[in-house]
Structure 1
Amino acid sequence: MGPLSAALLIGGLLALMWVLELFDQSTGGWLDQYGIHARELDGLPEIFSAPLLHAGFDHLIGNSVPFAVFGFIIALGGFARWLGSTLISVVVSGLTAWLLTPANTIVLGASGLIMGWLTYLIARGAFDRRPIQIIIGVAVLLLYGGMIWGVLPTEAGVSWQAHLGGAIGGVIAARWLHGRAARPTR
């Protein structure tokens, strides 16, 4: 995927998240019901809507830059790999949040996906072994590696469960999409 297509894809998704949050704020949080309802079977489908929703503008602002940076870098590698890494990260993050978050809790936000993209970019170089992927992984680790602490239960109101699931999902995606079996042998 070229830079313009990658920018349009990620920019469009980011714009959608902002429009949804504007609507959510204007309706008193009506969209929050589409977040993940922890440990409720009927809350499982919300695994796919929760990453687009946020608990206020501060939450969305905090997620916007890493969403744009990581999403753009991954999209440059092609739509199929972007989609694969995104879906795996969203599903593993969402299921982990659904299972480990206390009941009667709603989980919202793109941070589980962002954590998945972070670990995907770092792990991709290890599995792919191409110098450019290793360099990107090291650069992402140096610039954003501190985010990895988000997998620990350190801050009230922050879903470490979604972060942990996203981190695991990103590594799974990197292995699946860039492991030796994913490359044709010569």
Structure 2
Amino acid sequence: MSSSSKPSFAQILHNQWQILASFVAIFWGLEFLDVFVLHHRLDQFGIQPHRFIGLRGILFAPFLHGGFLHLISNTVPFLVLGWLVMLQETSDFWIVTVITMLVGGLGTWVFGAPGSVHIGASILIFGYLGFLLFRGYFQRNGASIALSLLVLFLYSGALWGLLPLQRGVSWQGHLFGFIGGALAARMIAKEKRYYSG
């Protein structure tokens, strides 16, 4: 591919923010629908631990929220961390998102309390956080290490969310989303070394 046919930085940035804005539009659209039309009936599509039907939440839970305050608290970190995941390659975002949804969702389904329902984009947010913190360790280049340190400085307080400290907060989703992100960092780093070597 010639350099003239490669997308410009502005085009890449526009594409990245279109992706993130699409996710946020889905979050907000579903919450408006759930609150004003369906009266919170969408929440049943979250992860319901130990129930076979609850496995559908692996796909749906990250897009559902327990009210507008929950959604507002997730929107900004989703945009910031989601974009940082894309910094090296936009495709990293899709890989990390899928692995985080699978690992975070399955972990929550196995270890969540019976009778509970887990929803929220925080599964993805903690997956992005895990990816960004471990990318420097696995890729071992200056840019990745610097980014990991920056994210640690900015979001170290969020790591308390990995522990069962607050009632009504899905620490299982946070913890296993984080583990999913770390696994994605390892996998992507391994793939990059393979293709560069």
**Which bin holds the TM-score, normalised by the shorter protein?**
over 0.9
Measure, in 2, the Cα distance between the counterparts of 1:14 and 1:147.
21
Q: CA RMSD in A?
A: 1.5
Q: Alpha-carbon deviation of 1:180?
A: 7.0
Residues 121, 78 of structure 1: CA spacing in aligned structure 2 closer, same or farther, 3 A cutoff?
same
User: Could you tell me which of 158, 167, 171 is aligned with 1:156?
Assistant: 167
Query: Which residue of 2 is the match for residue 65 of structure 1?
Result: 76
- Report 1:25-104 matches (<5 A): 25-26=35-36, 27-104=38-115
Question: What TM-score, normalized to structure 2?
Answer: 0.90
Larger radius of gyration: 2
Deviations 1:4-49 (A, max 9, x none): 1111100111111011101111121021111111110121122111
Q: How far apart, CA to CA, are the structure 1 residues paired with 2:17 and 2:57? A: 26
Percentage of identical aligned residues: 38
Q: Please say if residues 107 and 172 of structure 2, whose CA atoms lie closer than 8 Å, have aligned partners that are also in contact.
A: yes
How many residues are treated as equivalent by the alignment? 186
* 1:49 match: secondary structure: helix
Q: 1:53 to 1:182 in 2, by over 3 A?
A: farther
**Distance (whole Å) between structure 1 residues aligned to residue 88 and residue 65 of structure 2:** 27
1:61-98 per-residue CA deviation (whole Å, 9 max, x = no partner) reads 11111100011121233332111111111111111111
User: 2:46–2:56: 8 Å Cα contact kept in structure 1?
Assistant: no
Residue aligning to 1:12: 22
Letter in 2 for 1:171: A
TM-score (norm 1): 0.95
* CA distance 1:181–1:76, shift in 2 (3 Å): closer
- Is residue 178 from structure 1 mapped to residue 186 from structure 2 by the alignment? no
Contact 2:131–2:182 (CA<8 Å) still a contact in 1? yes
Instruction: Extract structure 1 runs of 4+ deviating beyond 4 A.
Output: none
For 1:181 and 1:10, locate their aligned partners in 2 and report how far apart those are by CA, in whole Å: 24
Unaligned ranges ≥5, structure 2: 1-10
Unaligned runs of 5+ in 1: none
Q: Post-superposition shift, 1:175? A: 0.2
Look up the SS of the partner of 1:166 in the other structure: helix
